[in-house]
Amino acid sequence: MKKQPDFHELDETLKSVDKESQWAEEGRNKVKQRIFHDLEKKERFFFSKKGTSLKYYLSLTAAAFLLFILLVPVLPFFDHAQESGRGDAAQRYSDEIEGGFYFNLQRIEEQGDGYAVTLFIENTNEEPFNIQDNEIFIKSFDKSRLDEVDGEWVKHPEDQYVDTFSVLIEVDVLEGSFEVVEPGENTTISFFVPKEYIDNNNFELMYQSKVIPSGNYRGNWPGVTYHVIDLHRENIALYDEGDHNSNVLVPYLLSIFIITGLLFVTWKYSNSTKRKTILSATIITLAIISHFTNIALKDDIVEIKKETNQTTLPMMDVVHVEMLSNNEALAFYEHGGGTISYFGRNMLQKNLFGWRNIGGSSYQITQRDNLHWGFSNLSYSSPNFDSLISGRLFNDEVVEVIVVVNNQEEKAKIVEYRDGERFWFYLSEVEDLSNSVPVYGVNENGDILEQYPPERDN
């Protein structure tokens, strides 16, 4: 039980002092009030209680930072929630359409196991923008492969690559031209789509096109546009993944708040300068240790994919991460859908704050030959590598890719991903590979099946 101050005993002591020193009554009362004030203040703040030792403060600080170390790895939940939300149904749909387009869903009619749809599209752009490379397709967002889906409603384009997670829809043109819609012109199309894809949130019905200027236009233009066709809402709007940039400030702001609070408590309620110094140094040291512990405990592959997914490219899928060192990596990815799909790569480096994207490039996959050669200049972003060449590999008989550098044959690395899909890449530390170095795809007998640059007919 807490011992209360004996005010009577204090008063008698002061009277005795008063008699010996012959203080005035007023002076004695002032001393009493000052002592009572100090006692009340001491009761008010538990930090100043008698018996509070350095060990107590160290224990309090250690407990706070143990909680901090446990909490910080959970803070990227905000990133994880965003990352897992990339492509979620609630985030694939905006309230706008691309400028220069006008749509009208003229008919949505149930027919057997699907819907018959009639769509009116108008190009309201002023000169010189054409809407071309139009296509309707279904896109899978749960990694369900659609490349083997077949039926009368499916379109199979010749000599064109179709994204693994897309299936093109056969379109009947009722009016105008669907291939190219010129400014001020319009087209009306009809198509059929099965209910199983419309009634499942893991799929979206998409309209894809390119807005391309004609002539020698020098300004900016939208390029590839993606619209979601929502048959249940009878609406069409721009595809939108929402903001998928990770909020890296959240854990750091919370860390600063905790550290500042502990330092404030230490300096305000500790009377010893030595104790203040020791506690402050302890807090800062623990903060630094907890930061680097958190960075070290994170899975590099997960963090690299998360960082790559911050790139504002639609329908991105990181297909492979190649660790070049403890602090450097390459991330290979695909993005887009239908026949307008891209293959790309990013270089990433790890610093005191984790993995950071320092640059990359991508190119459209247009045909199934010539090894899909693509070049990336790494000399401006990496201290260890000069350049990278890579590409998709579709010929199943190719078992080895050979790159000829300074008349020396070098083997490129072949990577298999998903279920049988492949790509190749070759990294150069010092040689510039931009001058179209010869690349050959050979079979198990050593015969050349693919090559870049391609042979020219005489």
Return the pLDDT at 259: 65
Of 65, 180, 76, 59, give the one whose Cα is nearest residue 123. Answer: 180
Structural domain ending residue among the three candidates 268, 298, 328? 298
Q: Is 274 found in the same domain as 322?
A: no
Q: Which residue has the tokens 């890296």?
A: 248
Contact 338, 162 (CB under 8 A): yes
Q: Is 233 found in the same domain as 144?
A: yes
Q: Is 208 found in the same domain as 129?
A: yes
Structural domain ending residue among the three candidates 238, 266, 290? 238
Q: Is 305 found in the same domain as 291?
A: no
> What is the Cβ-side half-sphere exposure of residue 164, based on CA atoms within 13 angstroms?
19
Q: How confident is the model at residue 220 (pLDDT cuts 50, 70, 90)?
A: confident
283 φ/ψ angles, rounded to the nearest 5 degrees: -65, -45
Q: Is 170 found in the same domain as 270?
A: no
Kindly state whether residue 441 falls inside one of the protein's structural domains: yes
Mean pLDDT value of segment 339-347:
91
Cα–Cα distance measured from residue 328 to residue 22, given in angstroms and rounded to the nearest whole number: 83
Tell me which residue range forms the domain holding 100. 91-238
pLDDT over 70 at 150, yes or no: yes
Kindly state whether residue 12 falls inside one of the protein's structural domains: yes
Kindly state whether residue 458 falls inside one of the protein's structural domains: no
pTM for the whole structure: 0.72
Return the pLDDT at 25: 59
Q: Is 192 found in the same domain as 111?
A: yes
- Hey, which of 131-140, 220-229, 243-252, 275-284 has the most confident mean pLDDT? 131-140
- Hey, which of 118-132, 163-177, 227-241 has the most confident mean pLDDT? 163-177
Q: Is 307 found in the same domain as 393?
A: yes
Q: Is 124 found in the same domain as 8?
A: no
Q: Is 309 found in the same domain as 376?
A: yes
Mean pLDDT value of segment 54-65:
58
19 φ/ψ angles, rounded to the nearest 5 degrees: -65, -40
**pLDDT, tens only, 86-107:** 445 546 777 788 888 999 999 9
Q: Determine if the peptide bond prior to 183 is cis (ω within 30°).
A: no
Q: Is 403 found in the same domain as 355?
A: yes
Residue burial 312-322, b: 16+ Cβ < 10 Å; e: rest:
ebbbbbbbbbe
Kindly state whether residue 127 falls inside one of the protein's structural domains: yes
Distances (CA, A) of 421 to 182, 185, 262: 37, 40, 54
Distances (CA, A) of 29 to 10, 25, 39, 42, 238: 12, 6, 15, 20, 80
Q: What is the CATH number of the domain that holds 222?
A: 2.60.40
Kindly state whether residue 337 falls inside one of the protein's structural domains: yes
**pLDDT, tens only, 153-168:** 999 988 888 999 999 9
Kindly state whether residue 227 falls inside one of the protein's structural domains: yes
Q: Is 259 found in the same domain as 365?
A: no
Mean pLDDT value of segment 399-418:
92
Other CB atoms within 10 Å distance of the CB of residue 181:
22
Structural domain ending residue among the three candidates 187, 207, 238? 238
Q: Is 280 found in the same domain as 368?
A: no
Number of independent structural domains in the chain: 4
pLDDT over 60 at 41, yes or no: no
Cα–Cα distance measured from residue 154 to residue 114, given in angstroms and rounded to the nearest whole number: 13
Kindly state whether residue 457 falls inside one of the protein's structural domains: no
Kindly state whether residue 26 falls inside one of the protein's structural domains: yes
Contact 223, 82 (CB under 8 A): no
Q: How confident is the model at residue 169 (pLDDT cuts 50, 70, 90)?
A: very high
**pLDDT, tens only, 373-387:** 888 888 777 888 888
